[in-house]
Structure 1
Amino acid sequence: MDPATDPANGTRRRLLDVAERLFAEQGIHATSLREIAAAADQRNTSAVAYHFGTKHKLIEAIYEDRLTATTARQLELLDAIDAQGRGKELRALTGVLVRPMVERLEDPGRPSWFLRFVVNAMYVEGIAPNDLGAHPWTRGLLKLHSRITHCMPELPDRVRENRWEFFIGLLLHTLAQRERVLQAGADLGEQRLLAADLVDAGVAVLTAEVSDTPW
């Protein structure tokens, strides 16, 4: 059977989309697998377990589904800046991180709750894919993390990691909010301006002067 017309694939896709939305709107712990199956119009309340196994495996499948294309785009952009001789420039690397995530907001073909899902998942222990080397769909982030942190050799190791975490948090929360208001019908103007602002903010966060004292 053609995978594109396989009913099982259609059911799996429906379950992924519904799970992404409910996890984003209600939270990870507050959403049950039975509720996801019911919201996806599945008579069999064990449909999620049949297709994915556990809730953790379902969550991993959502990440893989969305981040596979993002990683491919990141690697494509990395190749482009390498060809331009800019592969070690912080601003260019920050743009490679930001651009595919902003482009996601412009995709009219498939509504997304993914960024809101990711923000929710950040606060659930053991859910977010923090080990960037563990999956092929985080390979782009792994390369970007390595290159970006190496652009700040003057900063102590702990400060560099803090700056990375600060910027990722800023990026995800900003785009999750933008995803929400765009889906509600708001017109927030040119997305390229948003991307440029996020790159500027990212570079500023990553390279801010380190104070001599914490207060």
Structure 2
Amino acid sequence: MDSGSLPQDPRPTAPGDLAAAPGAVAAPNDPLAPTARQILDVAEREFSRHGVDKVSLRELGVASGQRNVSAVSYHFGSREGLLAALLSRRIRRLNQLRLERLRLLARLGKADEPHAVIGESFRVLADAVRDEPWGADFVRVLAQVFFHPELDFHALVPEALTEGYRLSMTLIQPALGSLPPQTLEDRMSLAYHHGTYALAMWLHTHGPVTAGHEAAYEAFVDDTVDFIVGGVTAPRSRRPA
């Protein structure tokens, strides 16, 4: 598949999209005003450290330096609205990076190779954990959301922000023609969930990625890629007739 088959730019997301997240009520004309941005930064840190259910909105307001104890509710409406904005802010950036990497694979003639496509798609998140000041906290929060009994990731994050993930499935489908589309979708979902959980477990065990164990982290990421690619591309077991 050549690069012309890939979208040339991430699907645009209007500034008001964060305000449209479930339960979110943003400041007029500025859903990411400085106050809202400060609250999101603090919420990401506190949810990562203590759990998405363990910190009250009032406590987040105090921790983010807000005099108005209702500031979090004013900007985001509810805990779900806050989580929707928190996730969407980071996933928007990860989606852009994922699309850029898929375009590069297309230019290299590798956009139909499952190991390359799945590997680069996952490494976008793994690299954020290593390189971004928010990466470790974000992946811990994301893992909690994935496995939370009362939260639905797909209800919190607009579908447009997962374009790169969905494009990955489209690109590798021809190479996995024996897999029904629903099976591929199910396996990719399992792969993404497992990969996120694996990164969160690394952080739980080792802490943030530092120069002292960066090589070990990279080896862990490589092994995780091999594991999830193997799961996605494995032949189906025979079903009884």
TM range (shorter): 0.7 to 0.9
TM-score by length of 2: 0.74
- The equivalent residue for 1:78 is 102
For the 8 Å contact 1:24–1:116, the answer to whether it is kept is yes
Which residue identity is paired with 1:198?
A: T
Q: 2:209, 2:100 → 1: CA distance?
A: 31
| Structure 1 residue 172: Cα displacement | 0.7
Q: 2:203, 2:104 → 1: CA distance?
A: 27
Instruction: Quickly say closer, same or farther: Cα 1:124–1:150, change in 2 above 3 A.
Output: farther
- The equivalent residue for 2:238 is 212
Greater alpha carbon shift after TM alignment, 29-38 vs 57-66: 29-38
- Percent identical: 29
Gaps of 5+ in 1: 1-5
| Structure 1 residue 213: Cα displacement | 5.9
Instruction: Quickly say closer, same or farther: Cα 1:83–1:186, change in 2 above 3 A.
Output: closer
TM-score by length of 1: 0.81
In structure 2, which of residues 225, 233, 238 is the aligned counterpart of residue 199 of structure 1? 225
For the 8 Å contact 2:113–2:175, the answer to whether it is kept is yes
In structure 2, which of residues 34, 52, 57 is the aligned counterpart of residue 28 of structure 1? 52
SS in 2 for 1:42: coil
- The equivalent residue for 2:88 is 64
For the 8 Å contact 1:149–1:161, the answer to whether it is kept is no
Write out per-residue CA displacement over residues 39-95 of structure 1, whole angstroms, 9 at most, x where no aligned residue: 222221111122222222211111121112111111111111111121111011112
For the 8 Å contact 1:115–1:179, the answer to whether it is kept is no
Q: 1:196, 1:90 → 2: CA distance?
A: 14
Q: Tell me the C-alpha RMSD between the 2 structures.
A: 2.8
- The equivalent residue for 1:152 is 176
| Structure 1 residue 158: Cα displacement | 4.5
Residue-pair matches, total: 207
For the 8 Å contact 1:56–1:127, the answer to whether it is kept is no
Write out per-residue CA displacement over residues 135-164 of structure 1, whole angstroms, 9 at most, x where no aligned residue: 432221121233345542212444333322
Q: 1:15, 1:51 → 2: CA distance?
A: 9
Q: 2:182, 2:105 → 1: CA distance?
A: 28
Residue 117 (str. 1) matches residue 126 (str. 2):
no
SS in 2 for 1:188: helix
Greater alpha carbon shift after TM alignment, 40-49 vs 77-86: 40-49
- The equivalent residue for 1:183 is 208
For the 8 Å contact 2:119–2:229, the answer to whether it is kept is no
Which residue identity is paired with 2:123?
A: R
Q: 1:149, 1:170 → 2: CA distance?
A: 20
Write out per-residue CA displacement over residues 78-125 of structure 1, whole angstroms, 9 at most, x where no aligned residue: 111111121111011112211211111222544631111111111243
Q: 1:73, 1:157 → 2: CA distance?
A: 25
- The equivalent residue for 2:19 is none
In structure 2, which of residues 121, 130, 154 is the aligned counterpart of residue 129 of structure 1? 154
Instruction: Quickly say closer, same or farther: Cα 1:119–1:75, change in 2 above 3 A.
Output: same
